[in-house]
Amino acid sequence: MRTIWVSKSGGGDFTSVQAAINSIPETADETVLFIEPGVYQEKLRIHKPDLRLYGVGEVRLVYDDYAPKPNSDGAPMGTFASCSTYITGDNIRVENIIFENTAGESGKVGQAVALYVDADKAVFKNCSFLAAQDTLYLAKPKEEKQNRSGRNYFEHCRIAGDIDFIFGSATAYFEECEIISLNVQKEINGYITAAATPEDKEAGFVFHRCRLVSDAAANSVYLGRPWRDYAQTVFIDCWMGGHIRREGWDDWGKPSVNHTVYYAEYGNNGPGADTDARVSWSKQLQEQEAGRFTLEDVFGGDTDWTR
């Protein structure tokens, strides 16, 4: 196992996270990066597999691109290009790191992604993901029948944003995370999720024992809306603040998806968890039905990599 230290002060092997990543040979075994405290203003591409990234103190990986920002040819760069950090290497573990896009408010800059992940066996523990619109992008939709989008695991993380701020086609499990809806002071204050779950996937986004919080007005934030027709999002044993809208879910103006999406809840509590007025096409699970959304079931019994 190779160990690399990154330090802005110059006391480590590299002063840049990207330089450290680039130094790893393509055929390397597991590599551990220890990143010392600081704000690393880098647009990162973490493409090597079998990595471990550990923040030692407060580490912020920051950039400020946004979707309408002009490229060199004058055309808008778009959502995907706005990402501050890209992770595309499988079998990666990240702990104690803040991923941030500092472009600004969604009403001014539009989509501005803090982290894009398109990798299998990606683990994030005690991390924060901070932006506004489209904070956490978990794999592009792939329109082919067999979809590679991987498995992502988040534990004790903080995710903040307003519009569709957890989105994409991956299978992702969120365990005891804090989901923070920013207050944009509008009647419809935002949407937490925008899943694009492929039709052939057994699960999309699962939130287990998470806390959904906001200082936005009551009844102003949707749990989710479908980026693609077979979107799957489930909340189990979560605490939901009063900002959650009574109907819970929105169909993005596509009533045809009412028969294809899988939006479900079980065992939630808090002022936003009342399901009496939920849309008719969402599901209130029974205990046996909720049992198929354990970590082991969602990841097909293969969970050693999450520990």
Phi, psi (degrees; rounded to nearest 5) at 81: -70, -15
Of the candidates 198, 143, 186, 137, which has an alpha carbon nearest to the alpha carbon of residue 164? 137
Lowest-pLDDT range of 81-95, 123-137, 145-159, 219-233? 145-159
Q: Would you state the structure tokens that stand for residue 92, as one six-digit string?
A: 């990666």
Residues 28-71 have pLDDT tens digits of 789 999 999 999 999 999 999 999 999 999 999 999 999 999 99
Match 């790191």 to its residue by tokens: 97
Q: pTM of the predicted model, to two decimals?
A: 0.97
**Residue 192 Rama label (left phi>0; alpha psi -120 to 50; beta):** alpha
- Residues 73, 251: Cα–Cα separation, whole Å: 35
- Residues 102, 135: contact at Cβ < 8 Å? no
The reported pLDDT for the residue numbered 104 is 97
User: What are 100's strand-pairing partners?
Assistant: 62, 130
**Residues sharing a CB contact under 8 Å with residue 45, sequence separation 6 or more, in sequence order:** 18, 21, 85, 86, 88
DSSP code, position 10 = S
The reported pLDDT for the residue numbered 144 is 54
The reported pLDDT for the residue numbered 145 is 52
Q: Is the pLDDT of residue 3 over 90?
A: yes
Give kind and range of the element (H or E) at residue 90.
none
Q: Is the pLDDT of residue 135 over 90?
A: yes
Q: Is the pLDDT of residue 280 over 90?
A: yes
Residue 265 or residue 27, greater confidence: 265
- Residues 111, 83: contact at Cβ < 8 Å? no
Residues 185-206 have pLDDT tens digits of 999 999 999 999 999 898 999 9
The reported pLDDT for the residue numbered 93 is 98
Residues 100-118 have pLDDT tens digits of 999 999 999 999 999 999 9
- Residues 116, 15: Cα–Cα separation, whole Å: 23
Which class is 38-301 in CATH?
A: mainly beta
The reported pLDDT for the residue numbered 146 is 55
Domains in the chain: boundaries: 38-301
Q: CB-hemisphere CA count at 13 Å for 230?
A: 16
The reported pLDDT for the residue numbered 148 is 65
- Across the beta sheet with 171-175, the strand order is 2-6, 31-35, 51-55, 92-95, 122-125, 151-155, 171-175, 205-208, 232-236, 262-266, 283-284
Give me the active site residues, please: 134, 164
Residues 227-271 have pLDDT tens digits of 999 999 999 999 999 999 999 999 999 999 999 999 999 999 999
Residues 141-172 have pLDDT tens digits of 876 555 566 999 999 999 999 999 999 999 99
Which residue spans within 85-228 are E strands per DSSP? 85-87, 92-95, 98-101, 115-117, 122-125, 128-130, 136-138, 151-155, 158-161, 163-168, 171-175, 178-181, 190-195, 205-208, 211-214, 221-224
Lowest-pLDDT range of 77-81, 231-235, 273-277, 298-302? 298-302
Q: Is the pLDDT of residue 21 over 60?
A: yes
- Residues 144, 219: Cα–Cα separation, whole Å: 37
